[in-house]
Amino acid sequence: MSLRRAIDEAAAALEVGTSDRSLSEFASIELPATFDPRCLLTGSTATAVVGSYERPDQGFALIGIGEAARIDLAIGETPTAARARVRALFEGTPRDSHSVLRPRLLGGFRFAPDQAPRTPWERFGAGSLVLPRMLFVLEGGVSGVVLAPGTSATEALRLIERVIDEPDGALPARDPLRSARSIDENAWRDNVRAMAIGIREGAYEKAVLATSIELERDGDLPLGETLAQLRADYPDCHVVSFSAGDATLICASPELLISLEGGHACTLGLAASQRRGENPAEDRALGRELLADAKSREEHAVVVREIVERLEDETDGLTVDDEPSVRRFRNIQHLATRIAGDAREGVDILELVERLHPTPAVCGRPRDVARRVIAEHEDFDRGWYAGPVGWLDANGDGEFAVALRAALLRGPRAWLFAGNGIMGDSDPQAELEEVTLKMRPLAEALGGRIPAEASAIPA
């Protein structure tokens, strides 16, 4: 079936004809599987995108256009504070609906919800969940759009027609990135040394030290083209965007925080890193080295232990991989352990997000001590970096990733964020090289490379 014929049949089924009347309840329109909603991230519709969530290797994408409703958390509020307002938005929606074309909210939460936002995160509060006016879905070979109450079906159909009528143009040339603020390398090394001493003295087991750089170019940074590059380069990551005012968070996260579907919860312990090899033999050797490295294994074990401890009271039948595996991405490889179980009655995705965030992979252990250490040694606002980002539905199911390999875009400027887990035997120079490596995915997607003056190692 052609896309235009599908539009005509959808209009007839919804009895919209040429009427612009708004719908009084959620409705959905199935489109031909050939329609890829990710085309909405570029062209004339890009500015209307409020958020997106993709699993490229699974053929899964959610693209939210326009804002039908929004839940904003006040400073100090945590994810479960949104629960009553989420239920109100989904009132009348069947809680047992597992249709691909079902309503969902897109959003995320700050790393530290009790801290007021600072530059460049002024537009992002403690957390936000948005109900899109039009949620375009690609999942399991099904493509379609879910319309929120108050939305005109004709509006959605005209938007689709406009997109398919737009000519395919060449991607615009991207100006090179310039460094507006680079890593303070001396301060980074000093902080690593100080944290490693605290760990060796037994003050805490682990803390995560993050840093930020600023890049700029002439003209606004291209959101759609950047997401397309991340999708192509990191298909096995969670590719996410979320907009607030003139700022947009983007990330290509390798780390699943938690998913919940039909009562089954799944998460991934991901910690300890190693570079990729120049050839398959070197790559395998580096992976074996990562698996055998005592510091890396202990860093990873800290993360897994804490995740298990936090989930034990919320789940039954919790299972943990016997040994970590090596999970490889385009520019880096990590140790990974899968953890899964059945959520207890009444436990929803917001409860699990609140229970798990922040994991030791982005904070440390013990959590409260690590938070104080982070506040002492980091001189910038993490904002939503390292916070949960994802989606949820009326069933209380959903999926949230950790906002890693992340950047905040505002006009011609981008703030890039990355961090490392610090242990008692961490080497300051090695940690500097690793954190720079982690910034490359976003820098390359935005403009080709990290400028030499912003990098600790050759680009």
DSSP per residue over 272-298, as a string? EEEEPPSSHHHHHHHHHHHHH-HHHHH
**163-167, 189-193, 227-231, 265-269: lowest mean pLDDT where?**
163-167
pLDDT greater than 90 at residue 19 = no
The pLDDT > 70 percentage for the chain reads: 89
Please state the rounded mean pLDDT for residues 80-105. Answer: 88
Mean pLDDT of the chain: 88
Q: Which residue, 155, 5, 146, is CA-closest to 62?
A: 146
Q: Answer yes or no: 255 catalytic.
A: yes
Which band of pLDDT confidence, cut at 50, 70 and 90, is reported for residue 459?
Answer: very low
**23-37, 151-165, 274-288: lowest mean pLDDT where?**
151-165
pLDDT greater than 50 at residue 59 = yes
CB 242 within 8 A of CB 106: yes
DSSP SS3 for 130:
strand
30, 54, 205, 206: the catalytic one is 206
pLDDT greater than 90 at residue 146 = yes
Please state the rounded mean pLDDT for residues 271-277. Answer: 84
30, 216, 255, 444: the catalytic one is 255
Alpha-carbon span 253 to 239, nearest angstrom = 6
- Identify the pLDDT of residue 302: 83
Q: Answer yes or no: 216 catalytic.
A: no
Which band of pLDDT confidence, cut at 50, 70 and 90, is reported for residue 199?
Answer: very high
Tell me the pLDDT tens digit for each residue of 312-354.
999 999 999 999 999 888 778 889 999 999 999 999 999 999 9
DSSP SS3 for 192:
helix
The more confidently predicted of residues 54 and 92 is 54
pLDDT greater than 70 at residue 454 = no
Please count the CA atoms within 13 angstroms of the CA of 430 that sit on its side-chain side.
12
DSSP letters, 5-54, are HHHHHHHHHTT-TT--PBPSS-EEEEE-TT--GGGGGSGGGGGGEEEEEE
- Identify the pLDDT of residue 172: 56
Structure tokens at 149: 């109450």
Query: What is the torsional sign of CA 115, 120, 122, 123?
Result: negative
